[in-house]
Amino acid sequence: MEYIGWMILGVALLVVEIITPIFFFLWFAIGSFIAGIASFFGLSFSWQLSLFSAVSVVLVILTRPIAKKLTGESPRKIYIDEIKGSIGNVVEEINNKKRTGVVRAAGENWKAVSIDDDIIGVGEKVIVERLEGTIVYVRKFKNENAQDE
């Protein structure tokens, strides 16, 4: 009846695989099921444990690179230094009194507050002065290279 223990372990590992965001426990679940089959056919516990270990390790080594390609790259990390000083576009009017404002900067949308208390309209460019939590503090971007007409 050892095979029941291996099967329960396999199901538990499948549940862990489903709940966790990594693609890793599936290989051990498969190893557990193989060990359970070996137990069903009467192989000793040392053989079962050897099969579990060997199958799990081989599957991890052979399929991990494929699994990484299928699941894609991890999301790009945003660093504070990357955002500070970046130029953004206003996607929702920034009005401190109304507590509204969204800016697209460094490829992400951020809740925005005007440092100068200016109302900044949609489509205008801003420069990010600082970041506090999920809020960027911005000011209107003035292009010094532009010529006055």
pLDDT, tens only, 22-61: 778 888 999 999 999 999 999 999 999 999 999 999 998 8
Instruction: For residue 85, give the DSSP letter.
Output: T
We find that the CATH architecture of domain 80-140 is Beta Barrel (2.40)
Residue 67: Cβ-neighbour burial (10 angstroms; 0-12, 13-18, 19+): middle
Strands (E), the chain: 87-95, 100-105, 108-114, 125-132, 135-140
What does the domain layout of the chain look like in residue ranges?
2-71, 80-140
**Residue range 68-86, pLDDT digits in tens:** 676 665 555 556 777 888 9
**Residue range 108-140, pLDDT digits in tens:** 899 999 999 999 999 999 999 998 888 999 999
